[in-house]
Structure 1
Amino acid sequence: MDFARLWLGLLLPLVAALDFNYHHQEAMEAFLKNVAQNYTSITHLHSIGKSVKGRNLWVLVVGRFPKQHRIGIPEFKYVANMHGDETVGRELLLHLIEHLVTNDGKDTEITHLINSTRIHIMPSMNPDGFEAVKKPDCYYTKGRENYNEYDLNRNFPDAFEFNNVSRQPETEAIMKWLKTETFVLSANLHGGALVASYPFDNGVPATGTLHSRSLTPDDDVFQYLAHTYASRNPNMKKGDQCKNNMKFPNGVTNGYSWYPLLGGMQDYNYIWAQCFEITLELSCCKYPREEKLPFFWNDNKASLIEYIKQVHLDKMKDKAFMKPLRIKSLPDAWVTVPGHEPYLTKVIIEKKSQNFSALKKDILLPFQGQLDSIPVSNPSCPVVPLYRNLPSYSAATKPGLFLLSVTVLHIFFK
């Protein structure tokens, strides 16, 4: 054995450094498969569905237990390239993957993050649209939509208006995905502006539309999350870097205040899956030239990592219905289950709790007779959106049956 060659092999990285070029489907797949093969203990590569043209919608999971959910380890996701011609996010997520896997065991912050979080990364939700774009262009191109010419960020059910569009396979794949994972925090990456936008994108007077905004009950959390990302991006936080675009104080905006949007993905995440999602507009130019990509990585690297860490904010989450609850330094916590009166319990958060940690509290709720006869199929996700009782909610949000299989709710909090 040539020991010099052996030592050289040990010193070389498992995956060749990712270049700052645009990676089309074949190159992207090769990179993702290479990562999955070389970092088997912390990654899991799978497809959540296929595009209209049959391209896989790849998701790479990074975490100490990448193939399954573990109690106390929250689920986080990034989704990019929803609009095929908005390309910066696609490449940033590939570089984020490389940064995470190559720094495990070397960088304390990244190692803690991988130990304590299950991170799902989808570099391209609209691979057909990306492949349809012939060359970089800062403005609208045909590749924005999927192959059937549907805007995927107008294709989800909407809580405030009936969204009478043909549901696309890419959209259906996301909806199914949300039912199989208990996501807590998310961001979807876009381009064409430079701002962190938070829900709601649509709304009714009850959410504040008469005041040119539409706010969730968790508006303080969403504003904090958006500021967390924008404040670490040196250009986004300036709020006025894109020509011919409105100014965004501190690089943050409420989605509806910017412009109303029917059938958007971030509203769907919050209302149907109780997952906190914001929209990140990362570049004034939708599809900038490749030589600009290193600058975008430098501007967004710290924000991308810091935002993932926010999944460990003080919160509670019930396992049966996935509804996040807030804890604001109070000794009491309200637990709510549809069809029952709220339940008040004391929660003790020990001072010795560390960052990136979770405590577990089991609460036994006395389920009543009206739920006993409901058949059980898939209890992984609620089927009733949070805003079903608003006067103007659409037929698309009418409640169905609640599906229960357990009487113990697992409550997580930091």
Structure 2
Amino acid sequence: MDFACLWLALLLPLVAALDFKYHHQEGMEAFLKSVAQNYSSITYLHSIGKSVQGRNLWVLVVGQFPKEHRIGIPEFKYVANMHGDETVGRELLLHLIHYLVTRHGKDLEITNLINSTRIHIMPSMNPDGFEAVRKPDCYYSNGRENYNQYDLNRNFPDAFEYNNVSRQPETLAVMKWLKSETFVLSANLHGGALVASYPFDNGDPATGTLHSRSLTPDDDVFQHLAHTYASRNPNMTKPDQCKNKMNFPDGVTNGYSWYPLQGGMQDYNYIWAQCFEITLELSCCKYPREEKLPYFWNDNKASLIEYIKQVHLGIKGQVFDQNKNPLPNVIVEVQDRKHICPFRTNKHGEYYLLLLPGTYEINVTVPGHEPYLTKVVIPEKSQHFSALKKNFVLPFQGQLDSLLVSDSSCPTIPLYKMLPSHSAATKPSLFLFLLTLLHIFFK
């Protein structure tokens, strides 16, 4: 090979351009393995478990330190195709992977994003369901559920009602995954509508169901996250895009306001994993024709990137004792937005709080001791690809392991049943009941 040919070979991309077509398990695996091999310095491919039929649940991690968590670098994730017949998100995440790895080192924004964030991407949570679909269909098909005929977005523990369904292998794998990482922000990608939906999906009077909604203590942040995604998608903010008389103002809705559901993944992420997750409905047609895929990518590319950046909102840091030992399982929350499962530091004493600019009183509490309160001002202009850093040194000696560990778990039961009711329960309105019947299969 002469010098000119060698130089041309070096300029060629390491991974061939990804086709706009549906990639079944074999093709998806081949692409992911090719990326992991050719971009090994910034990627890590692993399986978090197997489906009912034994297919791997692949996750590709993209980041400066892809194989392990590093203090100060937040963990972000995208999950798609938990309903096997909702296919657009699956392909969008494969194209997102290709976009990220091929622009690292060439595009300053993407390079900074990858170097400051550990990005986990799961193209398919329900590979069995995807393989079961016989042909593309805009509406419900048998591939929605997993192989055991369970809807995975009704299969998680629920904070409001007893959800005594059999936990499926795919669900258990995700629950275990959530315990293994300090996820801060997430989105799960669906189809059948065009809207960004935020928690809660279920609720009770304490969260506002008497007003046909169910809001978290961090509702301002969730609304910001949903608007961030929707506002950059040129079609999501347009009224009645799916021609079904469903108008979502600015392309955003509260999950419960749309229709209540039990055992959803986004509520589980927020309550039990301290991870802010929203649900992205990305196509009116659940399984559109392949030739439509380039349009979906063009509509969602900017939103997918901008949403990842939101993991750097707010404040982050570590909690130490007087000897500068990191303290795990210490409660760190804003004083006036307590979570029913308190947000706690991880094993490195780290915490991450997604917050909008403003003044907050942060409550740092070692169980059994008086809270340590401090005022923090988050500026209007956030730091470049980093939340505001704030460490806390508490007046303790020793790591207090025995005390902390005993108080660190949060039971997977209907936690809101333990709260006193603020008012009497109310029956859903006729409108909400009809809405539920018409759109029960959209999420």
* TM-score, structure 2 normalization: 0.82
Cα shift at 1:354: 3.5
Is contact 1:196-1:227 (8 Å) kept?
Answer: yes
Cα distance in structure 2, aligned partners of 1:282 and 1:263: 21
Cα distance in structure 1, aligned partners of 2:381 and 2:223: 29
Deviations 1:159-178 (A, max 9, x none): 00000100000000000000
1:343 and 2:376 are equivalent in the alignment: no
What residue is the counterpart of 2:203 in the other structure? 203
Which of 383, 386, 390 is the equivalent residue of 1:357? Answer: 386
Is contact 1:272-1:383 (8 Å) kept?
Answer: yes
What residue is the counterpart of 1:190 in the other structure? 190
What residue is the counterpart of 2:301 in the other structure? 301
Is contact 1:271-1:387 (8 Å) kept?
Answer: no
State the SS of the aligned residue for 1:78: strand
Cα shift at 1:388: 3.1
What residue is the counterpart of 1:275 in the other structure? 275
* TM-score, structure 1 normalization: 0.88
Which of 361, 384, 388 is the equivalent residue of 2:415? Answer: 388
- Of stretches 233-242 and 159-168 in structure 1, the one that deviates more from structure 2 is 233-242
RMSD value, Cα: 2.6
Which structure 2 residue ranges, 5 or more long, are not aligned?
319-327, 330-343, 346-350, 421-443
Cα distance in structure 2, aligned partners of 1:196 and 1:18: 27
What residue is the counterpart of 2:158 in the other structure? 158
Evaluate the alpha carbon distance shift between residue 337 and residue 279 of structure 1 in structure 2; reply closer, same or farther with a 3 A threshold.
farther
Evaluate the alpha carbon distance shift between residue 314 and residue 42 of structure 1 in structure 2; reply closer, same or farther with a 3 A threshold.
same
State the SS of the aligned residue for 1:238: coil
Is contact 1:158-1:264 (8 Å) kept?
Answer: yes
Cα distance in structure 1, aligned partners of 2:362 and 2:262: 34
Cα distance in structure 1, aligned partners of 2:293 and 2:140: 19
Evaluate the alpha carbon distance shift between residue 165 and residue 32 of structure 1 in structure 2; reply closer, same or farther with a 3 A threshold.
same
Cα shift at 1:314: 1.4
1:333 and 2:362 are equivalent in the alignment: yes
Cα distance in structure 1, aligned partners of 2:96 and 2:279: 17
AA aligned opposite 2:57: L
Cα shift at 1:315: 2.7
What residue is the counterpart of 2:431 in the other structure? none
Cα distance in structure 1, aligned partners of 2:245 and 2:317: 38
State the SS of the aligned residue for 1:235: coil
Deviations 1:41-83 (A, max 9, x none): 1000000000000000000000011111111110000000000
Cα shift at 1:4: 2.1
AA aligned opposite 2:292: K
Cα shift at 1:242: 0.6
What residue is the counterpart of 1:405 in the other structure? none
What residue is the counterpart of 2:61 in the other structure? 61
Q: Percent identity?
A: 81
AA aligned opposite 2:30: A
Cα distance in structure 2, aligned partners of 1:271 and 1:281: 22
Evaluate the alpha carbon distance shift between residue 274 and residue 44 of structure 1 in structure 2; reply closer, same or farther with a 3 A threshold.
same
Cα distance in structure 2, aligned partners of 1:101 and 1:238: 32
Is contact 1:195-1:239 (8 Å) kept?
Answer: no
Evaluate the alpha carbon distance shift between residue 349 and residue 229 of structure 1 in structure 2; reply closer, same or farther with a 3 A threshold.
closer
